[in-house]
Amino acid sequence: MSNVIHASHLTLTYGKRGKEIIKDANFSIKKGEFVFITGPSGSGKSTLLKALYGKLKPSEGNLVVGGLDLSTIRQTKLQELRTHMGIIFQDYKLVNEWTVKKNVVLPLMIAGYPTEIQETQAHRLLKHVKLPEHADRYPLELSGGEQQRVGVARALAKNPVVILADEPTGNLDDYSSNVIWDLMENACQQLDTTILVVTHKIPTIFSLPYRHFIIESKGVYEVH
């Protein structure tokens, strides 16, 4: 299996003063792997996700995602890379004025896919996340767990190579959390998607093999 993500002597800094958040980190993640990233609050978990999405350039070292080095990448290539990524947020980030169906196909709309493909994909994905009857409802008519399921469907809309998830179950009860973990396990297993999850707590019930990295004292270390 090839590496989807590779960091070599990666240093990330934040703010005008260039405060070091992560220093000299080295790690690789292969296609189809499920990875949890944990660490104390403020350790740099979300900063690493920002770097992986190309919102924060490495100060030193290299960060390669999908074969492209994010320390030297041009904006046009970065936009192209992002079309192969799905993002899941803790606070859902849905457009409340849009229907559930329209929220799900947002990445396809941006990419200019024909309406019939959008319709087909919306139906398939909403069925996958067990919300087909909610297609024409609005986000604020749904529970938090249901809104996050819409978020997962949206992240899967373009069959991404990588999904980045920032505390995807942070606002959910145990039942809704388990539903979200099941959906993400299925995506990893059935679609061979690489999934990176920043979380404060790894779920106790998780059937897939996974890797666990912890960020502390500016380092990124694998827990065996």
In a domain, 45, yes or no: no
Residue 4 domain flag = no
Q: State the pLDDT at residue 196.
A: 97
- Residue-wise pLDDT for 53-66, tens only, equals 999 999 999 999 99
Q: Is 31 exposed, middle or buried (0-12, 13-18, 19+ CB in 10 A)?
A: middle
Is residue 122 situated within a structural domain? yes
27 belongs to a structural domain: no
Would the pLDDT of 38 be above 80? yes
Give domain status of residue 210, yes or no: no
Structural domain containing residue 116: 95-159
Give CA–CA dist 54/162, Å, rounded: 13
Domain assignment present for 73: no
Task: Confirm whether 16 is domain-assigned.
Answer: no
Q: pLDDT digits over 127-157, tens only? A: 999 999 999 999 999 999 999 999 999 999 9
Q: What is the pLDDT of residues 173-214, one digit of tens each?
A: 998 999 999 999 999 998 899 999 999 889 988 889 999 999
Query: Domain tally for the chain?
Result: 1
Quick one: pLDDT at residue 1? Answer: 61
Strands 194-198 and 162-166: parallel
Helices (H), the chain: 45-52, 75-82, 100-104, 106-110, 115-128, 144-155, 174-191
Q: Which residues pair with 22 in a beta bridge?
A: 12
pLDDT of the residue at 132? 95
pLDDT of the residue at 27: 97
Instruction: Check whether 9 has a pLDDT greater than 90.
Output: yes
Is 127 among the domain residues? yes
